[in-house]
């Protein structure tokens, strides 16, 4: 772990799926602010899944369409969290696709919301890597 605020640019993927990370993490749920990738990697070390999205990825969504996407993703994430799963949703302005799903060592990208695919990723990979015994 390194101090929160320090950046790391040598991840093997973008968004990252593993590697050096900040000494803090954020609670599961929907973040209103973009979570730094270095912090989100710590969530993955805690057996979590991160749902990243970018309304600005080409073709960019207008405000209404972005709100719909956020609502769709939020509904899934909040249901998963209510069921006891470690899932974090965050905006990621550097993302070159609309949605990315990550867990430690795994990445899937989507150009549009697909509830079944998002839920399948969470079911398959949440708690897949759990070195600190969170599951």
Report CA 73 to chain centroid distance, whole Å.
11
User: What radius of gyration, in Å, describes the C-alpha atoms of the chain?
Assistant: 14
Q: Dump pLDDT digits (tens) for 86-126.
A: 999 999 999 999 999 999 999 999 999 999 999 999 999 99
CATH of region 29-125: 3.40.30
Give the side-chain half-sphere CA count within 13 A for 106.
20
Integer CA distances (angstroms), 107 to 2, 18, 44, in order: 23, 10, 12
Span 120-134, average pLDDT: 96
pLDDT value of position 70: 98
CA distances from 122 to 39, 59, 63, 114 (A): 19, 26, 27, 13
Question: pTM of this prediction?
Answer: 0.96
């Amino acid at each position: 772990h390194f101090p929160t605020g320090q950046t790391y640019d040598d991840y093997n993927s973008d968004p990252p799926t593993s590697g050096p990370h900040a000494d803090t993490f954020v609670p599961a749920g929907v973040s209103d602010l973009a979570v730094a990738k270095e912090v989100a990697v710590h969530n993955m070390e805690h057996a979590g899944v991160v749902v990243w999205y970018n309304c600005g990825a080409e073709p960019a969504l207008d405000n209404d369409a972005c709100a719909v996407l956020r609502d769709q993703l939020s509904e899934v994430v909040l249901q998963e969290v209510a069921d006891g799963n470690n899932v974090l949703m965050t905006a990621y302005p550097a993302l070159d696709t609309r949605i990315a799903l990550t867990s430690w060592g795994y990445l899937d990208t989507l150009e549009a919301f697909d509830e079944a695919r998002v839920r399948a990723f969470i079911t398959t990979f949440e708690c897949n890597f759990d070195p600190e015994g969170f599951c």
